[in-house]
């Protein structure tokens, strides 16, 4: 990208092209208009789906009209007092923090080696890391849960942390690789010439340079682990349910709590997830998780 920007201010031939561009910006094409209408519709449906949950959590009762009959905050109080809710929030945070920490600790060094070294079996390892990210959790969630119960740790906090590590660790590795590739090996050679041993090279040179990558990997995996449902669902016990699993339980139980109460529980979850999302957008470009970045380092 840097190369393009330095090449872009080429003198004469670039000028008419950019003039044509701005002309096109002023006169949008039919396809562009159609695209934005569809996008607007999509955003409208999506946002009204999400907002309706919030309104529902604030409503005294909501029959068939556009808006509820009255508003109240009492559902939040009641949701907070629901047995196990506070605990499920605690579990959610414990699992998220433990998984992100383990994934960074193991994944960043692995990503470093994969980016720097060519060795036999490298492609196999990359493919091997790609599979848990691409395959939907339900392809392996049940087998993993069966294994956890076989080992006698099914239903424990440990098992919830372990199963959620499966998609997170490879994600950290895959995000780290392009960030390492951007750091010139010359920097490392220079540090070695000046007498840095491996430990100092790592702590004084690599970690500071890799911070943007580490933060990106951390927040993107945090967002992913907060919303992870299937893996936790099959392995968690009564005391180790995360917030999402608890909400699913309430929603799928026909005799469960009233919708407004479940909605209030969901608003707690939305708040947590939204904070995670805002932090992640502040530090990272989410497209990086999915495609190879063609980006400038933040």
Partner 1 sequence: MTDMPALSGVPRRPLRHRLAERGVDWSLLLLAPAVAVIAALFLYPFIYGISISFQPQSGGGAFANYRNFFSDSYEAGSILKTLRLALPVALVSVGLAAPLAYQCRRDFRGRKMITLVVMLPITFGSILIAQGMPRVFSPYGWGNLLLKDIGLGPADLLYNYWGTFIAAVLTTLPLAFLMMMGFFGGIDRSLEHAAATLGAGRAARFRRIILPLAAPGILTAFMLALVESFAIFPSAILVGQPDNQTHVLTIPIYQAASQNSDYTQASAIAIVLTAIELLILGLVVFVRGRLFKGPATGGRG
In the region spanning residues 75 to 104, those forming contacts with partner 1, defined by CB under 8 A, are none
Is 60 a binder of partner 1 (CB under 8 A)?
A: no
- Interaction with partner 1 in 251-270: which residues (CB under 8 A)? 251-252, 262-263, 266, 269-270
Neighbouring residues of 230: CB distance < 8 A, sequence distance ≥ 6: 136, 137, 138, 141
Asked whether 177 and 115 are in contact (CB, 8 A), the reply is yes
User: SS3 helix, strand, coil % of the chain, rounded to 5?
Assistant: 75, 0, 25
Is 293 a binder of partner 1 (CB under 8 A)?
A: yes
CB of 244 to partner 1, least distance (A): 6
- Interaction with partner 1 in 177-236: which residues (CB under 8 A)? 223, 226-230, 234
Is 290 a binder of partner 1 (CB under 8 A)?
A: yes
Q: Which is nearer to partner 1, 204 or 292 (CB)?
A: 292
Identify which range of 85-93, 109-117, 181-189, 208-216 contacts partner 1 by CB under 8 A. Answer: 109-117
User: Left, alpha or beta for 19 (phi > 0: left; psi -120 to 50: alpha)?
Assistant: alpha
Cross-strand partners of 71: 59
CB of 86 to partner 1, least distance (A): 20
As a whole number of Å, the end-to-end CA separation of the chain is: 13
CB of 263 to partner 1, least distance (A): 7
Is 53 a binder of partner 1 (CB under 8 A)?
A: yes
Q: Which is nearer to partner 1, 77 or 296 (CB)?
A: 296
Query: Total residues at the site for partner 1 (CB under 8 A)?
Result: 106
Alpha helices in 67-84 (DSSP H): 74-81
Asked whether 261 and 78 are in contact (CB, 8 A), the reply is yes
CB of 287 to partner 1, least distance (A): 4
- Interaction with partner 1 in 8-27: which residues (CB under 8 A)? 13, 17, 20
Asked whether 244 and 164 are in contact (CB, 8 A), the reply is no
Q: Which is nearer to partner 1, 211 or 248 (CB)?
A: 248
Is 145 a binder of partner 1 (CB under 8 A)?
A: yes
How far does Cα 105 stand from its chain's mean position? 17
Our CA dihedral for 216, 222, 228, 234, rounded to 10 degrees, sits at 120
CB of 255 to partner 1, least distance (A): 16
Q: Which is nearer to partner 1, 146 or 190 (CB)?
A: 146
Biggest CA-to-CA distance, the chain? 74
> Per this entry, what is the length of the chain?
298
């Amino acid at each position: 990208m840097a190369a393009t920007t330095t090449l872009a201010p080429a003198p004469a031939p670039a000028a008419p092209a950019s003039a044509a561009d701005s002309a096109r910006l002023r006169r949008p094409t039919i396809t562009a208009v159609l695209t934005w209408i569809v996008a607007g519709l999509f955003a409208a449906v999506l946002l009204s789906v999400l907002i309706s949950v919030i309104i529902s959590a604030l409503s005294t009762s909501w029959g068939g009209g556009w808006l509820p009959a009255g508003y109240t905050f009492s559902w939040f109080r009641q949701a907070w007092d629901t047995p196990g809710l506070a605990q499920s929030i605690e579990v959610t945070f414990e699992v998220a923090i433990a998984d992100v920490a383990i994934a960074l600790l193991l994944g960043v060094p692995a990503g470093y080696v994969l980016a720097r070294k060519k060795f036999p079996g490298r492609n196999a390892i990359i493919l091997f890391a790609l599979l848990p990210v691409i395959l939907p959790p339900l392809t392996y969630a049940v087998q993993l849960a069966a294994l956890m119960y076989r080992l006698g740790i099914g239903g424990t906090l440990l098992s919830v942390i372990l199963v959620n590590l499966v998609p997170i660790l490879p994600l950290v590795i895959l995000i780290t690789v392009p960030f390492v590739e951007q750091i010139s090996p010359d920097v490392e050679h220079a540090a070695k010439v000046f007498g840095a041993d491996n430990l100092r090279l790592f702590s004084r040179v690599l970690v500071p340079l890799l911070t943007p990558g580490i933060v990106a990997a951390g927040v993107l995996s945090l967002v992913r682990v907060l919303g992870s449902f299937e893996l936790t669902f099959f392995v968690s016990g009564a005391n180790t349910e995360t917030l999402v699993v608890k909400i699913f339980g309430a929603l799928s139980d026909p005799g469960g709590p009233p919708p407004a109460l479940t909605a209030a529980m969901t608003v707690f979850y939305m708040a947590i997830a939204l904070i995670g999302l805002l932090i992640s957008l502040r530090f990272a470009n989410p497209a990086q998780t999915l495609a190879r970045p063609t980006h400038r380092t933040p």
